[in-house]
Amino acid sequence: MDPMDALMTATQFPAILPSLTGLGLVALGGAAGAVARYHMAAAIERRLGTAMPWGTLVVNLSAALLAGGLLALFNLGRLPVPAGWLLLIAGLLGSYSTVSSFSIQTLVLARQHGYPLRALLYVLLSVTGCLVLVTGGYLLGVWCCG
């Protein structure tokens, strides 16, 4: 089987019934990811300063690298699905950085049935939409509470 076919399968969110075990795995991974994000960003900012959001950039780039590596391990059968997926992808990387999910979904769109333009559209809509909406949210907050 082509590894990318396995990638398409692995990126479908595990279809398991919500259970205490599943929720616990996501929560445990999420707690670890949040702490890791805080410490990584703080360490980078102490070293490089805050003139640019270097900490966030390093977290996002490292999350993309980790997401790719974990996908390979899932596809090769080296990590268990769904437990490993819930702990490491949904939990750990989900709280460490959402760019990991964004990166995985973009890769799947680009490779799945040859949709590179759909992937590009997804990137453009995501980045532009988020920038527009964060601006709108800020303006709304100032309007309501300022």
Instruction: Please tell me the pTM assigned to this model.
Output: 0.72
- Do residues 73 and 36 make contact, with C-beta atoms less than 8 angstroms apart? no
Residue 97 known to bind ligand: yes
Helix-then-strand count for the chain, H and E:
7, 0
Helix, strand, coil content of the chain in percent (nearest 5): 80, 0, 20
DSSP code string of 2-25: -HHHHHHHHTSPP-----HHHHHH
Residue 94 known to bind ligand: yes
Q: Residue 45 and residue 38: Cα distance in Å, rounded?
A: 11
SS3 15: coil
pLDDT reported for residue 28: 98
- Do residues 63 and 96 make contact, with C-beta atoms less than 8 angstroms apart? yes
pLDDT tens column, 17-73:
468 899 999 999 999 999 999 999 999 999 999 888 899 889 999 998 999 899 888
Q: Is the dihedral angle over the CA atoms 20, 88, 110, 103 positive or is it negative?
A: positive
Q: What are the boundaries of each domain within the chain?
A: 3-97
pLDDT reported for residue 100: 79
